[in-house]
Amino acid sequence: MNAVSFGPFAFDAERFAAIAGMVVFLAAASVLAHRVDDRLGRWSSWTAVVGLAAARIGHVLQHAGSFASEPWRVLAVWQGGFSWSGGAAGVAVILVLLFLRSRKLGAWAAASVVAGVVATAATLALTYSSARLPPPTCAFRMLDGAETTVGGNGRPTVLNLWATWCPPCRRELPMMAELAARTADVDFVFANQGEQTATVADYLRSENLDLPLAVLDPQLLLSSHYSAVGLPATLFLAADGTLAGSHLGEISREVLAEKIDELKFQQGISR
């Protein structure tokens, strides 16, 4: 899957590319602040804050109806959910304001922005893979003892890799179970990683969670097959079982819905 890990830290490819671009932008602005004008240092800090805020606000506005019922989730930035276009608009406004004050400073500031954009694009190109990985060929045991395969059944599939010891997994499971119950044309598979039947069954019972298809993967075969470097990991499989997309880390309701819509669009399924 499209992810990067450094020791205990793991990042989704898009998130890692955005972080890399931000670091390069701030570093370039810092160098220019020392060599050209120290005001570029303060400007870059404000630009980073405004860009992130605008990216989040843009995402929230795109999904205003979903956030209206749970407004506190506007602050749940750890779930992801940022608009590239919103962030770009925020940075552009700050850049234009600086350019109106000083064309010279505006030109140098634009150079630091370009450096950040190039770094983002280069990092994404290096870490993102469009390879259509086929589904695993082995069968997995369900909680009732029966066996099933994952993907390749002629319907798009959302495959969630999770564990009971994983706090982000526990936070997102109820939302994912709810969305699975009302999504008729996409299958959901919840594959527990590394734990035994009793542990999984006891947890689901204690949390009153009804997962449509819970399978056991005590040997972490799915994590290995998809190169998942952390949990939770959500994989989006096309109707033929090939990997069409992925998301590493806790996923929000809005991002999950977006990914499902993209998956259905690729398969020619009407929304």
- Report the distance separating Cα 27 and Cα 115, nearest Å: 10
Q: Which residues span the domain enclosing 115? A: 3-127
pLDDT tens digits along 63-120: 999 899 889 999 998 888 899 999 999 999 999 999 999 999 999 999 999 999 999 9
The residue with tokens 């407004």 is 71
Strand order in the sheet with 187-193: 147-148, 140-142, 214-217, 187-193, 157-162, 233-237, 243-248
Task: Give domain status of residue 135, yes or no.
Answer: no
Cα–Cα distance, 87 to 83 (Å, whole number) = 6
The residue out of 81, 103, 127 marking a domain boundary is: 127
**Res. 160 pLDDT band, cuts 50 70 90:** very high
Q: Which distant-in-sequence residues (6+ apart) come within 8 Å of 64 by Cβ?
A: none
Mark whether 96 and 121 lie in a shared domain: yes
Between 253 and 265, where is the model more confident?
Answer: 253
- Whether 40 is in a domain gets the answer yes
Domain-ending residue, one of 127, 160, 179: 127
Residue 270 has pLDDT above 70, yes or no: no
Q: Are 8 and 110 in the same domain?
A: yes
For the whole model, what pTM was predicted? Answer: 0.86
Q: Of 216, 248, 254, nearest to 235 (Cα)?
A: 248
* Domain total in the chain: 2
